[in-house]
């Protein structure tokens, strides 16, 4: 879902303030807008703003006593956030939770400390997952009013030299 500035907006959720600032700075340096959330309450409150366009969640796998998957699931249960992609980060290897989410919805995982080039590559991939592109196309078409069939042609005046009822092969 594009926003008014044409810069993707990423919600970064991480209880580690230094890691959160680092991720936000890296993303901003590469043209992304970021919103930082240090806990589940801040993440849910931010995501619940219907007027705020979010394009991706970048979430630590462990935020306080919650798992990143729990936070992402809570956000994606919001009707206007169902197709919001998620990417996870952690200091540990990929967990079964992330592997299951990747198989089902295409979530990526990056291990901290991460390589900035790899982070940007995975963010780009997360923003262009096929199911998201299809969903955005469907939403765009659904928001466009349908014109009456041939309405644009109903008032066309053809010159008398043109026969509009038959064609010659």
Residue 99 belongs to a domain with what CATH number?
3.40.50.2300
Average pLDDT over residues 114-137: 77
In a domain, 164, yes or no: no
Above 50 in pLDDT, residue 53?
Answer: yes
pLDDT category of residue 149 using cuts at 50, 70 and 90: very low
| Angle at CA of residue 86, ends 84 and 88, nearest 5° | 170
Average pLDDT over residues 107-124: 87
In a domain, 132, yes or no: yes
pLDDT category of residue 104 using cuts at 50, 70 and 90: low
pLDDT given for residue 70 in this prediction: 86
pLDDT given for residue 43 in this prediction: 94
Q: Nearest to residue 154, comparing CAs of 162, 144, 164, 145?
A: 164
Between residues 50 and 142, the one the model is more confident about: 50
Q: Which pair of structure tokens corresponds to residue 168?
A: 């010659």
15, 63 Cβ separation under 8 angstroms = yes
**Cβ-proximal residues to 97 (8 Å cutoff; 6+ apart), any chain:** 61, 67, 69
Q: Nearest to residue 83, comparing CAs of 134, 33, 42, 10?
A: 134
Q: Nearest to residue 68, comparing CAs of 82, 55, 86, 42?
A: 86
In a domain, 29, yes or no: yes
Query: What residue has token string 């644009």?
Result: 152
DSSP assigned state of 147: P
Q: Provide the number of structural domains found in the chain.
A: 1
In a domain, 4, yes or no: no
**Which structural domain range is residue 117 located in?**
9-143
Above 50 in pLDDT, residue 165?
Answer: no
Q: Is 6 left (phi over 0), alpha (psi -120 to 50) or beta?
A: left
Neighbours of 83 (CB within 10 A): 16
3-state secondary structure of 76: helix
């Amino acid at each position: 879902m594009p926003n008014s500035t044409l810069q993707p907006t990423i919600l970064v959720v991480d209880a580690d303030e230094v890691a959160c600032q680092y991720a936000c700075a890296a993303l901003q340096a590469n043209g992304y807008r970021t919103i930082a959330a240090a806990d589940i309450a801040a993440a849910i409150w931010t995501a619940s703003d219907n007027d705020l366009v979010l394009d991706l969640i970048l979430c630590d796998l462990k935020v306080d006593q919650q798992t990143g998957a729990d936070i992402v699931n809570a956000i994606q249960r919001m009707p206007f956030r169902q197709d919001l992609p998620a990417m996870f980060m952690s200091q540990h290897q990929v967990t079964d939770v992330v592997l299951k989410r990747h198989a089902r919805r295409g979530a990526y995982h990056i291990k901290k400390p991460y390589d900035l080039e790899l982070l940007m590559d995975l963010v780009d991939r997360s923003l262009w997952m096929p199911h998201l592109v299809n969903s955005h196309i469907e939403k765009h078409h659904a928001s466009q009013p349908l014109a009456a069939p041939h309405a644009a042609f109903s008032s066309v005046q053809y010159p008398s030299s043109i026969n509009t009822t038959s064609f010659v092969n």
